[in-house]
Structure 1
Amino acid sequence: MRSKKLCFSLLMISSLIPVALSVSSLLPQDEIETLKRIAAVLKKTDWNFSVDPCSQQAGWVTHNAPSGFENSVWCNNCSNNGSICHVTSIVLKSQNLVGTLPSEMASLPFLQEIDLTRNFLSGTIPDEWAVLPLVNFSLLGNSVSGQIPSWIGNITTLQNLALEANQFTGSLPKELGYLQNLQKMQFSANAFTGELPATFANLSNLVYFMIASNNFTGNIPQFLQNWSQIQRIDLQASGLKGPIPTGMPLLKNLIDLRISDITGNSTFPQLEGMQQMTYLTLRNCGIVGEIPPFIGAFLNLKRLDLTYNMLSGIIPSSLIHTNFIFLTSNNLSGPVPDWMLTSKNNIDLSYNNFTIEGPGQGCQKGNVNLVGSSYSDDNQGEDEPCLDTIPCNGDNWFFYINCGGNEASLYENNTHKIYEQDNDGTNGVSTFQSYSNWAYSSTGSFLDSRDNNNFIATATQNLSMPNSELYATARLSPLSLTYYGFCLINGNYSVKLHFAEIIINDFDGYVSPGRRIFDVYVQGKLVLKDFNIRDNANGSNKAIVKTFPAVVTRKRLEIRFQWTGKGTTTVPVTGTYGPLISAISVENLNPPSESNSSARLVIGITCAAIFAVVILVFFAWKKGYFRRKNAKDNDLRGLETISFSLRQIQAATSNFSSSNKIGEGGFGSVYKGRLADGTVIAVKQLSSKSSQGNQEFVNEIGMISALQHPNLVKLYGCCIEGNQLLLVYEYMENNSLARALYGPEQYQLKLDWSTRHQICVGIARGLAYLHEESMLKIVHRDIKATNVLLDIDLNPKISDFGLAKLDEKGNTHISTRIAGTIGYMAPEYATRGYLTEKADVYSFGIVALEIVTGKCVSSYMNEDQYHLLDVAHLAKEKEDLLSLVDKRLENQYNQVEAVGMIRVAILCAHSSPAHRPLMSSVVKMLTGEVSIPDFVPDPYRFRDSLGYGFGENLHEQATT
């Protein structure tokens, strides 16, 4: 009996098993099979198909996962009393998935969410997905490529579309503007091009719009003002141009506005009434004028970034409640407000014109970074730059820094080197830290990061490269990081920069989609543009050393790393971007040699130096070179170019023989000479009758000695002796471009088309360096063919910086003395004294026309008041641009290049500065890297309407 009962019980249990499985299996079998195929494509092995995928167990949902990591399949849309459900969500964040996007997902007809954030997926978006009723769709942080399919615009249910940090290309489909329910459009860090579609004006429910780090064209559209629900706009380095739309105040819900690196100058945008504003970034937007007081009315404002603009005036006191204030590299002036010096907020005022009362005490006061400011000491009677207040303990000819790490003792090239520690990571938001003979200055806070104070990176994987202790740590900066070397012996140096990407890691041979991109400057010269450590090192956790020459002339070396809004910011986690540097090695190429008599040698050199300084000071005092504290001639003390004696110069030029005279400039005569070692030189003898006098002399030395570029004339040195003020340049064998094109016939050169094109591109590169790449932002003010010299290979070099307007902070200003040449001067400068780098762009346009036509601009000026530019416009209207080409070329030229050069010239010489391109863009247009924009109507193209008819009065202004 007991045996029968047991058998009956077993029979009952066995009969219940399939029923139980049937009840627990909520997902239809066809969807289970689809999930299996998806798992195979994604190489996902942790999905356990022995249990129901809707069970939220065994790999289908990972509970309590770390932030940013999620592994879940969710079911919903149930029917038949909940016995049948469907997959509605697949979220696989940071799962190290590889392969392509599985088209099989289209077989899940109820799928509303696909989130594959931060993986290693590639390929394109499958067209099969067009049938899915998606609400949330994220591929953020992968390597998906191709164009965005237009069919996405048909998924009217879509609310969130995140494609940031991939490799998408092409223009955005206009169909996306039909997504009436779209709230989030996240397209940053791709390679999108073209203009934003006009249909985007219909996205009235948009809350987030992020398109930073792309290659879009056109202006920031006015239709942004239609987005009444918008809370965040990110246009950093998007490629769009200014100005900032005037309708921004209509966006009352805007909390976070980020715009950077737009071209053109404009006043501060009208943002009044935007009371919800919490984060405001307007970086490198060409903003002129003062900081408006209404910014202080943003009571929720936590972070203000107005760096790299042309702001002037004082700081409004209404900013007192803002946590982070970044104003570096503007033209702000006056005393630093007391409330800032005592504030606990993080403030960066570096590279402005502020004055700090009292004796020099370094470049950091409290939480305020003041690098580039000056101390005013009434007892001394003069201002002193804060960097000059750092004491020197003797001269140095090398220094080594283990950035972000502890001291490291290494043997390199049989030499023992100690890399000093640089491990203070307590506050890099707005910091200047000074050590024995070096210092660093850091600015910026990591946007959206949960840890704003993480300024030191530590490798998470074992490093196998030589000297790995140099790469185990690194210093980070979210915006700008500058290292300074002090008390260095003047001379030639080798600068080695050690890099290794230790944060953005690859996985199992698959390349991370993260891209850290930044620029590097050495002594103000751009040496690395859009530098990507991982690309250069061929992978993560691999060392790459970049070596650069540097000339130290004022006992100081400067190395700057700067983020310009490019690259990814969300991989591997949000807030990953900005410069990273592992170690720095700086060595003099000709260090002092050791000998048994080194002590006596040092004493002898010291005594000789002291004696020379005493003699120099005595003669300088006798000649009246010392003036009141506001006299700029004090700058001569810091200039340490090669000093020539008058006797050397006289010998080289045969005592300034008239037979050696090769030119007459606005500041005096120019002579050809030959030094004792055979070097051929050009000597500019500044006229003692020149009303500009020493001031222009100081400008020339100070600027040219700091600048080195293949398309700038090199300054060898100077001579200050008696009443002689002399500059010694490299000699240019082929004289000026003007003489080569249209000078006396016996001096003209037969310049073929390729040479002319090369000359035009070279001039553009030189100006781009002056305006954008050098730390000193310089407006030349007198670009013309006579100020472009040609070397023996007919390479162009810009000369005569005596008229250059040094503008260290890039400020627009009204010039009280017009300095230029009729015919080449921009109208706004000639008539109103309004000076920006766009004045040089205008002048370049005229020179480019001269290169094409072979004619001087003045050759037209006596013919019914016509101007060469007017002739070009007439040819444009007749659609006959090639009629302008120099007849001497006899049709032996590249017609496409010729038309392009003329179009660029007309664009550069537009009467409105806002429509003129940057010189860096001009270079790309001339070399074919980017297309040339269509002609912009120029209603004031004829010069009479711009005051050029008043030539006589204008000439008087230009020479007084």
Structure 2
Amino acid sequence: MVFHSSLLVCVLVLFVSPAVGVTAPGDVTGLAAFKASVIPSTVPAWSCMASWNFAVDPCVTPYRTYFVCGVTCSVDSTGTTHRITGITLDAVGYTGILPVNSLSKLTALQYLDISNNNFHGRIIASTFSTLSSLRTLVLSSNSFSGDLDSALFVKLKTLVTLDLSSNFITGGLPNTLGSLTSLRTLDLSFNRLSGKLPESLPPNIVNIAIRDNRLKGVLSKRTFESLKHLAVVDLAMNNLSGDLEAWLFRLPSLQQINLSNNSFSHISVDNVGSRVRSRLVAVDLSFNIIEGSLPKTLAMRNGFPALVALSLRHNRLKGVIPREYSRFKRLFLDGNFLNGKVPKGFFSVSEVAGSFADNCLDGCPPAVFLCAPEQKPRSVCKEVYGGIKY
């Protein structure tokens, strides 16, 4: 009877005592190594990482004093072991590197966001080589540098979101970028990337942003034509050049495109027709060197029924403003060499926002908000039009 009583007491203790050691040992080791890689003086006492005390288990609940934030846990398929599936750091200026022997042990990690801190070094594939479940990787607004490791994109085929923006990453975009078959959102903006766009981009990409880098070359139809889900493209503030051809505006899911602050020289837009209607909502081609006349086709409702915002400001466009452009809700045409009279429809549509200033327009008084502040000097316009009446 004594034996049975002792056994009963042991069983009761197991049920009433807090869970101990419920997190996979490899996860605990990896998380501890990750914290150890951060310079202690950059871990404020009130920060998430300061509460990571490995004298207790990271996944024990309820969280009261330790691991109060920054770590997400989930129970594995056995129902008995917890795995660390997410790390989201607060933006307090943590400083350190990403050592291979830490994150690589967190093999169940699905979400990693260490943005707005001061992590540095090169982003290499081996750091993430075992993270076969990683879906979101956000390393933005840190101090990462060096070239992109081409093997990185081969290893991270499960990624849905990749944000490496606002770092100091250099070099070109590797062709292996196209191997990210699950990727939907890519942001490489505000880095120092150079060279041309790769021939292959992630095939299921929806949003792509590579603004404010040093990319050059033309936009190749081969790069974009297979991107059936592409909705948003932001390649502003680069050194891209050449013609903007009709196929770009016919991409089936494209809604927003920003190619401002580049060196594009010509735009060609054909009428996509009533059977193939573009989904474009906003187009920004400002601050290029685009010549020619305003493409009337962009204002055709049968081809571009959803387009409401157009910016072609500060280019080299000449000729008149088509009256069809009065359908736009936002229209910026300032800083060109447009001439003739402004179609009457614009002055009667009060909800149009934009600017026609700094052109060669006739009868566009500065007192009207669309015409403010003023047009170019007549001498400049005469020189542009070779003495022909403008």
Structure 1 residue 51: deviation in Å?
Answer: 5.5
The equivalent residue for 2:200 is 199
The reply on whether 1:113 has 2:91 as its aligned counterpart is no
CA distance in 1, matches of 2:283, 2:249: 14
Match for residue 315 of structure 1 among 311, 314, 321: 321
**Cα distance in 2 for residues equivalent to 1:206 and 1:278:** 18
Query: Which residues of 2 match residues 720-759 of structure 1 at below 5 A?
Result: none
Task: String of CA shifts for 1:29-77, please: whole Å, max 9, x gaps.
Answer: 3322322222233342033554643647348887xxxxxxxx5422236
Return the alpha-carbon distance in structure 2 between the equivalents of residues 328 and 148 of structure 1: 39
Percent of paired sites with the same residue: 24
The answer to whether the 8 A contact 1:105-1:129 is kept is yes
Distance 1:113 1:262 in 2: 34
- Cα offset for 1:197? 2.3
How has the CA–CA distance of structure 1 residues 154 and 59 changed in structure 2, closer, same or farther, with 3 Å as cutoff?
A: farther
Alignment of 1:675-754 (within 5 A): none
Match of 1:79 in 2: 77
Q: CA deviation at 1:145?
A: 0.6
Partner residue of 1:305 out of 302, 308, 311: 311
Deviation, 1:192, is 1.0
Given that residues 216 and 238 in structure 1 are in contact (C-alpha distance below 8 angstroms), is that contact kept between their aligned partners in structure 2?
Answer: yes
Give the match's secondary structure for 1:182: coil
Other-structure match for 1:279: 282
The one-letter code matched in structure 2 to 1:87 is: I
- How is 1:370-409 mapped onto 2 (pairs within 5 angstroms)? 370-373=372-375
Say yes or no: does 1:28 pair with 2:28.
Answer: no
TM-score, structure 1 as length reference? 0.35
**Alpha carbons of structure 1 residues 353 and 72: separation in structure 2 relative to 1, 3 Å:** same
Cα deviation, 1:368-395, whole Å, max 9, x if unaligned, reads: 2422238xxxxxxxxxx7xxxxxxxxxx
* 1:47 partner amino acid: W
Equivalent position amino acid for 1:28 in 2? A
The aligned counterpart of 1:263 is 263
Structure 2 unaligned residues grouped into runs of 5+:
44-48
In 2, Cα distance between equivalents of 1:195 and 1:77: 44
Cα displacement (A) at 1:278:
1.6
CA distances 1:234-272 after superposition (whole Å, capped 9, x unpaired): 111222222224421441210110112333532444474
CA–CA separation in structure 2 for the residues paired with 1:198 and 1:229 = 17
Q: d(CA) in 2 for partners of 1:28 and 1:183?
A: 31
Note closer, same or farther for the CA distance 1:254–1:33 as it changes in structure 2 (3 Å cut): same
Structure 1 residue aligned with 2:167:
166
Q: What CA distance in whole angstroms lies between the structure 2 residues aligned with 1:319 and 1:138?
A: 40
- The structure-2 alpha-carbon separation of the partners of 1:337 and 1:246, relative to structure 1 and needing over 3 Å to count, comes to closer
- Residue 128 of structure 2 is matched in structure 1 by 129
How does 1:769-918 map onto structure 2 within 5 Å?
806-807=383-384
Name structure 1 gaps, 5 residues minimum.
1-7, 63-70, 375-384, 386-631, 636-775, 778-804, 808-812, 817-960
* Letter paired with 1:372: E
**Is residue 2:52 matched to residue 1:47?**
yes
Q: 1:151 to 1:308 in 2, by over 3 A?
A: same
Q: Which AA in structure 2 matches 1:79?
A: S
TM-score between both structures, scaled by the size of structure 2: 0.80
Residue 12 of structure 1 deviates from its aligned partner by 5.0
Contact 1:322 1:345 in 2 (8 A): yes
The equivalent of 2:150 in structure 1 is 150
User: CA shift at 1:119, angstroms?
Assistant: 2.0
**Which letter does structure 2 place at the counterpart of 1:41?**
S
1:45 counterpart letter in structure 2? A
**1:567 alignment counterpart:** none
CA contact (8 A) 1:51 1:58 kept: no
Match of 2:46 in 1: none
Map of 1:698 onto structure 2: none
CA distance in 2, matches of 1:32, 1:75: 11
Using the TM superposition, give the Cα deviation of residue 78 of structure 1 relative to its aligned residue in structure 2, in angstroms: 0.9
Q: Does structure 2 conserve the Cα–Cα contact (< 8 Å) formed by 1:251 and 1:274?
A: no
* Cα distance between partner residues in 2 of 1:51 and 1:280: 52
Q: Which amino acid aligns with 1:341?
A: F
| Whole-angstrom CA distance in 2 between matches of 1:75 and 1:253 | 36
Partners of 2:254 and 2:152 in 1: how far apart?
27
Q: CA deviation at 1:216?
A: 1.9
Whether the 8 Å contact between 1:48 and 1:58 is mirrored in structure 2 is no
Distance change (3 Å), C-alpha of 1:209 and 1:265: same
| Aligned position for 1:897 | none
SS where residue 357 of structure 2 aligns? Answer: coil
Separation of aligned partners in 1, 2:375 and 2:238:
32
Amino acid at match of 1:368: L
Q: Cα–Cα, structure 1 residues 338 and 109, in superposed 2: closer, same or farther, change >3 Å?
A: same
CA contact (8 A) 1:31 1:108 kept: yes
CA apart distance, 1:18: 8.1
* 1:240 equivalenced with 2:240 (yes/no): yes
Q: 1:350 aligns with which of 357, 363, 366?
A: 357
2:103 is matched by which residue type in structure 1? M
Give the distance between the partners of 2:308 and 2:136, measured in 1 at CA. 30
TM-superposition CA deviations, 1:668-713 (whole Å, max 9, x none): xxxxxxxxxxxxxxxxxxxxxxxxxxxxxxxxxxxxxxxxxxxxxx
Shift of 1:280: 0.7
The answer to whether the 8 Å contact 2:239/2:262 transfers is yes
Change (3 A) 1:58 1:305: farther
- Residue 166 of structure 1 and its aligned partner are, at CA, apart by 0.7
Tell which structure's C-alpha radius of gyration is larger: 1
Alignment root-mean-square deviation, CA:
3.3
Contact 1:268 1:289 in 2 (8 A): no
TM-superposed deviation, 1:815: 8.2
